[in-house]
Structure 1
């Protein structure tokens, strides 16, 4: 399982991530996907979401829950690129509890658009180069 993802990050859960049922609420999984993907784009690929000419808009997201996780667990988030198109990328994400149990798998699709016109633009340069390193065979 861990070899299926080409980039890993660890994210600690927070006290307020737990819901009334005593586990991390489902919306946290989506926030983790969004956070790890965007942090990777900024730190690894040099993407500038605040001042760059392009932005990445989420057009689709999905998550399948496999097991519970609760504060104070740390979640290991694995990332890979399932499909890299001209202006879109399908990120695939696996989440593991600290003991290695798979807790969720999901995907997140970004379409890159011009900041001003909000029309699709080609993913180019360093961002594309770094994404290609995460493409699964």
Structure 2
């Protein structure tokens, strides 16, 4: 038996992160249309990669909600990357605490929920195989 609450919570965090990344891409797109880009091809590539990342987060959210292991694995990888980015940003002076907390806190919560969901599902599947 799966843990639908943990999976739903983890999927919600992934979906919110995907929405936030989509907003970042839109802000960059508006900045591009305002002529703020130093290099047009680089700006377009950054926007495209950001939208691909957002799409991946949305796909991982749907997969996590459905109990797919590939989605949890991908979600965990992206949470670890977000945590690494937040921790690396601590070296920038002055420290941008809004960025550190805005990226790091959801990543940490998402990581914990994804791991808890995977552990819960693993324990439930072990219990079912013992009962068979």
Name the structure, 1 or 2, with higher relative contact order (CA <8 Å, separation 6+): 2
Q: Greater strand percent: which structure?
A: 1
Q: Greater helix percent: which structure?
A: 2
Whether these two folds match at TM > 0.5 is no
TM-score (norm 2): 0.25
TM-score (norm 1): 0.24
